[in-house]
Amino acid sequence: MSEETLQITLTVNGEQVTRMVPVRQHLVDFVRMDLGLTGSHLGCEHGVCGACSLRVDGQVVRGCLMLAVQAHGAEVVTIEGLTDTGEIADLQEAFVNRNALQCGFCTPGMLMTCAELLAQAKLMDRAEIRAFLSGNYCRCTGFHAIVDAVETTLRKRLQT
Amino acid sequence: MKAPKFSYVRADSVEQAIQLLALHGDEARILAGGQSLMPTLNMRLSQPRLLIDINRLDVLAGISLHGNRVRIGALTRHAVVASSPIIVEHLPLIAEAMPHVGHVAVRNRGTFGGSIALADPAAEMPACILALDATLVLQSTAGRREVRADDYFHGLYETAQWPNELLVEVLIPVQQSTSVSVFMELARRHGDFAIAGIALQLVVERDIVADARLVYFASEDKPTLAHGARATIVGHRIDEMIANAAASALENDLSPMTNPQASSKMRLHLQRVLTRRALALAADRVRRA
């Protein structure tokens, strides 16, 4: 079977891009390989680890469980774009202060999911934060420091 | 791994999707939320020739109230179901089950109908719609037909749906003032597939159980309606003795599968534990009602 391709036009981090892509290419491979945005990582490639998390039309999704062709017409935000807008600058600072990362492989995906948690602007206890982050694996920190960083940022945001 | 090669069509209408299904049958797969299909493609467990992407078919999404039934479009995302006021008010069993469905990123993409049509024995929604005595609407080029949830689930990933049919919506009777529901599951990690689970729908009149549908999932090759357990509680007030009797009756109702996560014996034990807990909670809800 030959490789079928399709042209897609989408917005990535605010910029419109048009490319020919293989129909079987994952969205995360498209942003990494075709656009050079390698902040999104590829871990398990079957939707378990969360390292490839991306924001598509305002919602966090698995970049390995969505085809690039499915993002035609969509607004995609990667960790690079999210960092540039400053939306989670406070969270990123809290991650650094609390050592909420060691090897850093899971961190971009973790931040993408945390961004959605923070955007809900709803008070959550530690158990609820853990449940929200349950789809993102970290193999270094034991999650404690990550939950600390999220909790601190959430409380600060809700106070102001 | 990367998905194998396939052809891809972004369907513009339900008619186009079912015509493609009629043409390609078994060799085509419907791509809805993709949260189960994509992993099987990535692991090369399935190699369809054609993916029919139905994600643009807005007509298949949405939740609405029609008389005494709630209609949930097959393409409605789990996250939308979870936050729907109609679901919270009229289908509390589904509202209680939703937080257990996958993780946030999975609920944002995964669909109500996709989970049902896949018929994974450990999935929450098939168990819920069976407990709620729902009706599924299937469409093909031959027209529409309705199948009751009781007749829909046939076995491991097997349903009454033909390869040329598309699940378009699910119709679910609304909760009555006499209804009491409970959903519980046990999983090793939040959002993982359950290793035991129960979806319970009772009709309670003047403290006496008038009818009951106890559905067990993550046990057999499909969600199981427990008739023996039902017989032990109907006509009685729910108390510890009745809950123990229902738990004992499971021996004849359930023959759980063994897999690396849990043995058959362990699952049966866990389902009994859940039965007692769920009935205790149901009794509590009856008292508060």
Assess if CATH 3.20.20.80 describes domain B58-173.
no
Answer yes or no: is pLDDT of B108 > 90.
yes
Q: How far is A19 from chain B (nearest CA, A)?
A: 16
Q: What are phi and psi of B259, to 5 degrees?
A: -145, 175
CATH superfamily of B180-288: CO dehydrogenase flavoprotein, C-terminal domain (3.30.390.50)
**Closest chain A residue to the Cα of B3, Cα to Cα:** A24
CA distance B274 to chain A (A): 21
What residues of A are in contact with residue B5 (Cβ under 8 Å)? 1-4, 24
Among all residues of chain B, which has the CA nearest to that of A45?
B1
Residue B211, classed as helix, strand or coil, is strand
pLDDT confidence bin for B289, thresholds 50/70/90: confident
| Residue B173 pLDDT | 98
Residue B193, pLDDT score: 87
The architecture (CATH level 2) of A5-82 comes to: Roll (3.10)
Smallest Cβ–Cβ distance between B106 and the set A25, A132, A135 belongs to A135
User: Topology of domain A86-159, per CATH?
Assistant: DNA polymerase; domain 1 (1.10.150)
- The average confidence (pLDDT) of chain B is 97
- On the question of pLDDT at B186 being above 80, the answer is yes
Predicted pLDDT at B2? 94
Give B-chain residues touching A25 at CB under 8 angstroms.
Answer: 2
How many CB atoms are closer than 10 A to CB B189? 12
CA torsion, ordered B91, B95, B101, B103, to nearest 10 deg: 150
Instruction: Say how many C-beta atoms besides its own lie within 10 A of residue B271's C-beta.
Output: 28
Domain ranges of chain A: 5-82, 86-159
Q: How far is A1 from chain B (nearest CA, A)?
A: 7
| pLDDT computed for residue A141 by the predictor | 86
Q: Which of A24, A62, A130 sits opposite B6 (nearest CB)?
A: A24
The B residues from 78 to 117 touching A (CB cutoff 8 Å) are 79, 99, 102-106, 108-109
pLDDT at B160: 98
Q: For residue B189, what pLDDT band results from cuts at 50, 70 and 90? A: confident
Domain extents in chain B: 7-53, 58-173, 180-288
A134/B35 touch (CB, cutoff 8 Å), yes or no = no
Cross-chain residue pair B108–A46, CB shorter than 8 Å = no
Read off the pLDDT of residues B2-48 as tens digits, 9 standing for 90 and up: 999 999 999 999 999 999 999 999 999 999 999 999 999 999 999 99
Under an 8 A CB cutoff, do B105 and A61 touch?
yes
For chains A and B, CB pairs below 8 A equal 99
SS3 of chain A: helix, strand, coil, percent, to 5: 40, 15, 45
Question: Collapsing DSSP states into helix, strand and coil, what is residue A145?
Answer: helix
pLDDT computed for residue B71 by the predictor: 98
Question: What residues have CB less than 8 Å from B130, skipping those under 6 apart?
Answer: B149, B150, B153, B199, B213, B215, B223, B225
Instruction: Please name the fold of domain B7-53.
Output: 3.30.43
The answer to whether A52 and A42 are in contact (CB under 8 A) is: yes
User: Best of B37, B38, B52 to disrupt the A interface by mutation (most A CBs within 10 Å)?
Assistant: B38
Q: Is the CB of residue A119 less than 8 Å away from at least one CB of chain B?
A: no
Closest CB to B103 among A69, A72, A134 = A134
For residue range A129-139, list pLDDT tens digits in order: 999 999 999 99
Same fold, A5-82 and A86-159: no
Res. B180 pLDDT band, cuts 50 70 90 = very high
Chain B residues in contact with A9 by the CB 8 A cut-off are: none
Q: How confident is the model at residue A160 (pLDDT cuts 50, 70, 90)?
A: confident
Does the pLDDT value for residue B253 go beyond 80? yes
ipTM for the whole predicted complex goes beyond 0.90: yes
B105 contacts A113? CB cut-off 8 A: yes
The model's confidence at residue B202, banded by pLDDT at 50, 70 and 90, is very high
pLDDT at res. B188: 87
Residues B115 and B125: beta-carbon distance below 8 Å: yes
A50/B contact by beta carbon, under 8 A: yes
For residue B221, pLDDT beyond 80 = yes
| Residue B1 confidence (pLDDT) | 87
